[in-house]
């Protein structure tokens, strides 16, 4: 009889993914979360997973073999306290995954401040297209699969390798648990101000994961990122391939917006990618995915064919609708660099048509004001910028974004923000909504107003 695991904080993308993988592997699974709602709740219930709502001591399953603790569970939470007081067996999500699933697999991990979800999705799709039936655990839903996690039917497993911490009792980055054989290092910047003091603290965690990659493995690193070079200088015991301007892997744009490009490896053309994706950052993500796939035996000439069918990731520049000539997009961007690349991608696609950027400072780092100085610059390519500035935000949006001048409009509520956007938009405008949360359902409200 397989073990019964009880997952604390089961409705996040990561822990929900672990639940799905555990079910596929034959475990019996139950879980609890503060808020149990679709789509994750329906996805879990359809797998036969029993969910309880609310962090109360009654909602731990004392007869489970182990409590798998999500990183949303902190000390002081009644569930956490009950597990500790009663001496129940517990572990973290990354550690459970490492010991029960990844132990005997060839793990391909994608790390970096930006592009992890998209690059992991590309890589999983290339391997799937090549008939390798990979398992994967990704922090978003890849359009080619419609699920964010699965066990897979082979020894290959693609994982989005997050540098965020593991659990209340394990402050190492999640990715040190994964023991990758193929490790992609996309980029490295300061983020997660709530857990890292400075850039060096993040570099140290990246150094820790590099320490776990075998000599027979491969490190695939962005040639244009000096922070990654600094990290590799701390020690690397594995061959390194670089992608980017002076790397082993290069791209030559055929279309300026990145919708077509040639792939060059060691100065030899491998093929051309023609796809529905745009933006220089996605060209870079594609090179990393192609390099990683080659390490497990997929020829680059095949990878470029697979990428022609790549469907992207939900919430990465996803067109939510077009009403009366007004297009509304949803994007997950919340760090200045991601905002800038997202805007640049849309700009290269729409030319001189107007872009209205709508932004919600929602992540822990942003609410604390960690990136406030870079935000105005990152939004400069938009024709108008609308920012949700709730009264409890502890920094001044107009002050932080004074470079935007009269391009900037703020409002304290979503409703007020919708009014201000609808007062100025014209047919053929592109409304780009950026947030790593639900943003109060603003996309639907905008589309309804456009039809109004």
Residue 371 has pLDDT above 90, yes or no: no
pLDDT at 189: 76
Percent of the chain with pLDDT over 90: 71
Question: Hey, what CATH topology would domain 104-307 get?
Answer: 3.40.1190
CB distance 72 to 49 below 8 Å: no
Region 155-176 average pLDDT = 94
Instruction: Please tell me the distance from the alpha carbon of residue 73 to that of residue 210, in angstroms, as a whole number.
Output: 28
Q: How far apart are CA 278 and CA 344, in angstroms?
A: 10
pLDDT in tens, 379-433: 999 999 999 999 888 888 999 899 999 999 999 999 999 999 999 999 999 999 9
pLDDT at 233 > cutoff 90: yes
Residue 369 has pLDDT above 80, yes or no: no
In this predicted model, what pLDDT tens digit does every residue of 116-145 receive, in sequence order? 999 999 999 999 999 999 999 998 888 899
Task: Considering the chain, tell me which residue range(s) the CATH 3.90.190.20 domain(s) occupy.
Answer: 318-451
Instruction: Name the pLDDT band for 216 (thresholds 50, 70, 90).
Output: very high
What pLDDT is attached to residue 55? 95
Q: What is the mean pLDDT of the chain?
A: 92
**Integer CA distances (angstroms), 93 to 12, 209, 284, in order:** 11, 17, 30
Q: Is 187 a residue whose pLDDT tops 70?
A: yes
Comma-separated ranges of CATH 3.40.50.720 domains in the chain: 4-93
Using alpha carbons, list the distances in angstroms from residue 362 to 70, 160, 368, 390, 435: 20, 22, 9, 10, 7
Backbone φ and ψ for 130, nearest 5 degrees, come out as -80, 5
Task: Specify the CATH number of the domain 318-451.
Answer: 3.90.190.20
Mean pLDDT value across residues 366-390: 86
Per-residue model confidence (pLDDT) at position 363:
73
Q: Which fold has domain 4-93?
A: Rossmann fold (3.40.50)
The predicted-structure confidence for 268-288, as pLDDT tens digits, reads as follows: 999 999 998 888 889 999 999
pLDDT surpasses 70 at 321: yes
Tell me, yes or no, if the pTM score tops 0.85: no
Given a cut of 80, whether residue 73 has pLDDT beyond it is: yes
CATH 3.40.1190.10 domain extents, the chain: 104-307
Sign of the dihedral through C-alpha 219, 310, 156, 7 = positive
């Amino acid at each position: 009889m397989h073990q019964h695991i009880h997952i604390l904080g089961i409705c996040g993308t990561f822990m929900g993914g672990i639940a799905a993988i555990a079910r596929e592997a034959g475990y019996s699974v139950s879980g609890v979360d503060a808020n149990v709602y679709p789509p994750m709740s329906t996805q879990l219930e359809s797998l036969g997973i029993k969910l309880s709502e609310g962090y109360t001591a009654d909602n731990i399953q004392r007869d489970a073999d182990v409590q798998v603790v999500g990183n949303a569970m902190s000390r002081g939470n009644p569930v956490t306290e009950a597990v500790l007081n009663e001496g129940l067996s517990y572990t973290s999500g990354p550690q459970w995954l490492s010991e029960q699933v990844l132990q005997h697999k060839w793990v391909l991990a994608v790390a970096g401040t930006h592009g992890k979800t998209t690059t992991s999705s590309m890589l999983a799709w290339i391997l799937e297209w090549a008939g390798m039936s990979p398992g994967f655990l990704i922090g978003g839903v890849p359009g080619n699969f419609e699920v964010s996690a699965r066990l897979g039917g082979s020894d290959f497993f693609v994982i989005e390798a997050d540098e965020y911490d593991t659990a209340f009792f394990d402050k190492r980055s999640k990715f040190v648990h994964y023991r990758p054989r193929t490790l992609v290092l996309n980029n490295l910047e300061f983020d997660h101000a709530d857990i890292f003091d400075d850039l060096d603290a993040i570099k140290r965690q990246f150094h820790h994961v590099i320490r776990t990659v075998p000599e027979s493995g491969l490190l695939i690193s962005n040639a244009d990122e000096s922070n990654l070079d600094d990290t590799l200088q701390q020690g690397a015991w594995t061959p390194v391939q670089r992608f980017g301007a002076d790397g082993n892997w290069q791209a030559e744009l055929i279309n300026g917006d990145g919708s077509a490009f040639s792939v060059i490896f060691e100065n030899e053309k491998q093929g051309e990618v023609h796809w529905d994706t745009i933006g220089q950052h996605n060209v870079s993500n594609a090179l990393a995915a192609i390099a990683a796939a080659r390490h497990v035996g997929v020829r680059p000439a095949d990878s470029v064919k697979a990428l022609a069918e790549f469907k992207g990731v939900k919430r990465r520049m996803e067109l939510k609708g077009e009403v009366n000539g007004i297009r509304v997009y949803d994007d997950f961007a919340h760090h200045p660099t991601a905002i800038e690349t997202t805007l640049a991608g849309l700009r290269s696609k729409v030319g001189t048509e107007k872009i209205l950027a709508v932004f919600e400072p929602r992540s822990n780092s942003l609410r604390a004001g960690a990136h406030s100085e870079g935000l105005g610059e990152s939004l400069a390519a938009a024709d108008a910028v609308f920012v949700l500035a709730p009264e409890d935000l502890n920094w001044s949006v107009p002050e932080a974004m004074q470079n935007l001048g009269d391009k900037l409009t703020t409002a304290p509520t979503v409703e007020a923000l919708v009014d201000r956007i609808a007062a100025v938009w014209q047919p053929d405008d592109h409304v780009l909504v950026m947030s790593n949360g639900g943003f109060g359902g603003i996309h639907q409200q905008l589309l309804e107003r456009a039809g109004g």
